[in-house]
Each structure stands twice: as C-alpha cells, then as structure tokens.
C-alpha cells in the first residue's frame, strides 16, 4: 500500500529536513524551506522504500566507434548568439538561458526560432508555460517572424510535452520557462526544487535521446542567480545569462558554462520596437556617446574571448563632505577599486583618502580582467588633477602592488582594435612592447610604461 511522506526542502541548496526550519543549516539562507511530498510503498518486511522505476541498461560503445557526424553544429543565423555558443547550436545539447524579467529572453529565442526555421528549413517547437498562443502570435508579428515551421504549444505537463515531441519530431525545442513545468508524479507545486529538478532532467534526457537541442528559459532570483537547484546548472550543457539595463537599449549575452566553446565570449544586441538587433562593432557602439572634453575620461581595451572591445572609463574624484570617503563603482568590483586607490595613494602620494571616488565603466559592462587597471588609474589621476586626457589616447595594462605596470595577454588584438578606430597613441606595459608584434601601425605612437611614475609624468 502506497504511503505519503512529507518533508521540507531548501529551495536554495536542496538540503532536506523532517520539519520546517526558519534558517537553513547548510547554506544559512532564511525562509527557503518548502513542504514536499514523496510517494513511498511498503516491502515484505514492512519497511518503506522510495518508489522508483527501472530501465533496461544500455550497451557501452568504444570511443573510436562513435559517429560524431550526427552532432555537427548548425548556425542560428544570429552571429552574436552563435559566437557565444562557440560557433552554432549542437544537436542534443541543453542550453539554459537566464535573465531579469522583461529583459528579452523570450524575444531572443523567438527570433532564434524564426531565423533557424526560415534559413535552415528546420521545424521548431515553442513550448510556452506562461503565455497563450495568441500572445506569442502578437509578439511574432511585431518581430516579423512569420513561418509555418514554428509550432506553438502552450503546455506545462512534462509527459504531454514528451509525447508531443515524439509525435512531431521537431529540430529545435524551446521551453518557456522551466519553472512552469510540472511532473505529475510529484505532489509539490510547479517551481519548487523537486519539480524543477525532475522536469529539467526529463527535458535533458529527451534532448540526448532524440538528438534535439533544447533551450530552457530560467527565472532568476533577486540576487541575479538562476532560480531552482544549483544542480540545474550542472545538468545542462550551456548556461547563458542575458544582461542589460532597462534604462539603456542594449543587451549583453554571456556564457558562464559552455561544454562546446569558450565562456569568455560576449554578444551585444540593441533592443528596438521590432526586437533585438545585432551589434557587430561593439567598440564603436560603446564609444559613440563619449564626451572627451571633461577630465576623468579615458579609453581602454579588453578582450572578451577572441573579441577585442574598446570602452570608456570614467572617474569622478571630489572632496568628501562626510567623515569617511565614499567608494562607488559600476562595472568593476569595488574591492578592486579600493586596491587601486591604495596603490595610487601609497606610490604617488595622492591624498585620495580625503576624496570621494566614483568609477563607471560606460556601457554597463562588468569587467573582471586586470588589464584595465592602467586606464582606471589614468582616469582617477586625470579627475584628481583636473587634466583632460587626449581623446585619441588608449590605455591598457595591469598594476602591481609596488606600482609596476605588468604585461597583459592578447595585446596585439587590443592594439589592432585601437588602430582600426583611429587612436593615435597607446600607453601599454613595456614588457609587452619588448615582445615581437605587428609593426605595421605607423600611424599610431605606442609608448611602453614600466611603472605608475611614468604614467603620472605623462598626465602632468
């Protein structure tokens, strides 16, 4: 006779408890336990066992006998998205896309479905658990997506979705969203940890078995992390975050996990009334609104994957009106900013402890590579001394604690991008300058710096 057992599961880390707890003892999060029910049945000895199903075991295959031609990539025909994926979509892959509500996740995937269906004549199944067919039709009309190869299927039952996939045999599946699906054999509510875990596992298994790529749209928490169990990110092949600010029109696509390519690539789109438009020249786009007539503004070069990008670094240094100076940054870790300020104060004698310092990486990009240290230091010195930096000058390099300028990787790409956009002067680490590089940049003056003192002398 089947029995029901009730337990409580932390929706953050997945730990279980026989009773409700206000604070999880594993992840220390508050109010994350939700009640769930498991179906049990008694064995011959009266003990309870979790109900499970057995499957026929498969047969191992020798590595050199596996036919890899069935997993060739196919392009989505949206170059910025294909770059992030590593060159295109892999059949049987599972791709999880997360982002803030209203950022454009559904819009992006509907455009991808339209591009794949129209260019490759592939059949796409769009499973919607949040919107009706009419709502999706109106969005598709606004995006000019009109093809008979896209099938809209409003459904949340996992079993019904699997049966539909087996019946229609699509070439691409989009699940919008994974938190709305429910597994009928579980008594918990849709969106709970167990439901998300089981529904995701079924969708991923279906993708592998049917050799069909599956896109899963995921909700995010207030902290910007994907909602649901952390195991969800380990289960899928690719995890992509769709970022952007509602005050600005552009959107950024990044991969934090990619079994088929690099996680350093970045795709940039502009949100318009007719959907997302690719921005192939990110550097020009990010520098278009630059005002070079004020102090505290410099330009640096970063490398996202294989793609060099130029962006503006703004600093504002102003006397503090409070007892403790403020340190604020947008796009840069505030701890990194504090470290660079300490280096400038110690090595150059700048009395920055009496000043508020605000830093902004224009464009909303979040940069973690240390190659922008030199540009940040130049912006802070420029604002502190109220000196306008030549708008055709570019800075890149890493700063050490003793004030030395350290070499950075892929400096040739940074130089090439700067020359392409017409920069006349580049300040970079002397260690990079010693190495062999392309000497065809006759129109650009390249200056190698050893330490902060040379930067300070340049900005006098």
Say whether 158 sits in a helix, a strand or coil: helix
55 part of a folded domain: no
Taking the C-alpha atoms of residue 118 and residue 148, their distance in angstroms, rounded to an integer, is 9
Check residue 48 and give its pLDDT: 43
Q: Are residue 376 and residue 300 in the same domain, yes or no?
A: yes
Check residue 116 and give its pLDDT: 92
Expressed as residue numbers, the domain containing 10 is 2-50
Question: Given the structure tokens 């009419």, which residue do they identify?
Answer: 134
What are φ and ψ of residue 146, in 5° steps? Answer: -140, 100
CA atoms within 13 A on the CB side of 50: 7
426 part of a folded domain: yes
290 part of a folded domain: yes
66 part of a folded domain: no
Contact between residue 298 and residue 389 where contact means Cβ atoms under 8 Å apart: yes
Contact between residue 269 and residue 276 where contact means Cβ atoms under 8 Å apart: yes
Please provide the distance, in angstroms rounded to a whole number, between the alpha carbons at the two ends of the chain: 85
Q: Are residue 276 and residue 303 in the same domain, yes or no?
A: no
Q: Are residue 263 and residue 238 in the same domain, yes or no?
A: yes
Closest Cα partner for 279 from 251, 308, 313?
A: 251
Per this entry, what is the length of the chain? 460
Give the domain-ending residue among 280, 302, 318.
Answer: 280
Q: Are residue 121 and residue 156 in the same domain, yes or no?
A: yes
Q: Are residue 232 and residue 110 in the same domain, yes or no?
A: yes
Taking the C-alpha atoms of residue 331 and residue 350, their distance in angstroms, rounded to an integer, is 24
Q: Are residue 212 and residue 320 in the same domain, yes or no?
A: no
Contact between residue 408 and residue 381 where contact means Cβ atoms under 8 Å apart: no
Looking up residue 415, the CATH number of its domain turns out to be 3.30.230.10
- Give helix 373-385 / helix 334-348 axis angle, nearest 10°: 60
Q: Are residue 300 and residue 376 in the same domain, yes or no?
A: yes
162 part of a folded domain: yes
Q: Are residue 265 and residue 341 in the same domain, yes or no?
A: no
Give the domain-ending residue among 233, 256, 280.
Answer: 280
> What pLDDT digit, counting tens, does each position of 293-336 carry?
889 999 999 998 788 999 999 999 999 987 889 999 999 999 99
Number of domains in the chain: 3
Q: In what order do the strands lie in the sheet with 2-10?
A: 16-17, 2-10, 33-42, 48-50
Sites in the chain below the pLDDT cut of 50: 1, 40-54
61 part of a folded domain: no
Check residue 447 and give its pLDDT: 93
Q: Are residue 257 and residue 338 in the same domain, yes or no?
A: no
Q: Are residue 344 and residue 387 in the same domain, yes or no?
A: yes
What pTM was estimated for this model as a whole? 0.77
Cα-based distances in Å from 70 to 74, 154, 212: 11, 30, 11
Q: Are residue 86 and residue 222 in the same domain, yes or no?
A: yes
Q: Are residue 202 and residue 292 in the same domain, yes or no?
A: no
89 part of a folded domain: yes
Give the domain-ending residue among 242, 264, 280.
Answer: 280
> What pLDDT digit, counting tens, does each position of 205-232 carry?
999 999 999 999 998 876 666 766 667 8
388 part of a folded domain: yes
Contact between residue 391 and residue 290 where contact means Cβ atoms under 8 Å apart: yes
Looking up residue 179, the CATH number of its domain turns out to be 3.40.50.300
């Amino acid at each position: 006779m089947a029995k029901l057992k009730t337990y409580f599961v932390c929706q953050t880390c997945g730990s279980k408890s026989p009773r409700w707890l206000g604070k999880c003892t594993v992840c220390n999060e508050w109010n994350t336990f939700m009640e769930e029910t498991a179906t049990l049945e008694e064995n011959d000895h009266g003990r309870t066992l979790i109900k499970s199903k057995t499957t026929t075991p498969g047969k191992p295959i020798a590595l050199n006998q596996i036919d890899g031609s069935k997993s060739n990539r196919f392009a989505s025909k949206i170059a910025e998205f294909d770059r992030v994926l590593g060159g295109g979509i892999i059949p049987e892959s599972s791709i999880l896309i997360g982002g803030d509500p209203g950022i454009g996740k559904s819009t992006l995937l509907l455009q991808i479905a339209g591009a794949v269906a129209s260019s490759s004549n592939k059949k796409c199944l769009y499973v919607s658990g949040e919107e009706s067919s009419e709502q999706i039709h109106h969005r598709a009309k606004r995006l000019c997506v009109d093809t008979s190869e896209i099938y809209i299927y409003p459904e949340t039952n996992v079993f019904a979705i699997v049966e539909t996939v087996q019946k229609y045999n699509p070439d691409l599946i989009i699940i919008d969203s994974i938190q709305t699906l429910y597994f009928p054999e579980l008594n918990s509510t849709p969106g709970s940890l167990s439901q998300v875990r089981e529904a995701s596992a079924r969708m991923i298994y279906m993708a592998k078995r049917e050799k069909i790529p599956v896109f899963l749209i995921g909700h995010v928490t207030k902290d910007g992390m994907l909602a649901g169990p952390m195991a969800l990110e380990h289960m899928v092949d690719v995890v992509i975050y769709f970022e952007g600010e509602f005050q600005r029109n552009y959107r950024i696509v990044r991969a934090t996990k990619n079994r088929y390519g690099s996680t350093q690539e970045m795709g940039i789109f502009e949100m318009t009334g007719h959907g997302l438009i690719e921005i192939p020249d990110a550097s020009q786009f990010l520098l278009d609104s630059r005002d070079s007539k004020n102090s505290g503004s410099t330009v640096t070069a970063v490398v996202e994957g294989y793609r060099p990008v130029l962006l503006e670094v703004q600093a504002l240094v102003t006397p503090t009106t409070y007892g403790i100076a403020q340190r604020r940054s947008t796009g840069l870790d505030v701890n990194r900013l504090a470290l660079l300020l300490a280096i400038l104060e110690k090595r150059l004698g700048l009395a920055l402890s009496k000043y508020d310092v605000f830093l902004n990486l224009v464009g909303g990009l979040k940069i973690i590579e240390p190659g922008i240290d030199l540009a940040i230091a130049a912006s802070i010195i420029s604002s502190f001394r109220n000196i306008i930096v030549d708008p055709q000058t570019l800075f890149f390099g890493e700063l050490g604690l003793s004030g030395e300028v350290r070499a950075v990787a892929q400096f040739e790409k940074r130089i090439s991008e700067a020359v392409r956009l017409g920069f006349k002067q580049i300040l970079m680490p002397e260690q990079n300058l010693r190495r062999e590089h392309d000497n065809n940049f006759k129109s650009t003056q390249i200056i190698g710096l050893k330490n902060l003192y040379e930067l300070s002398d340049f900005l006098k």
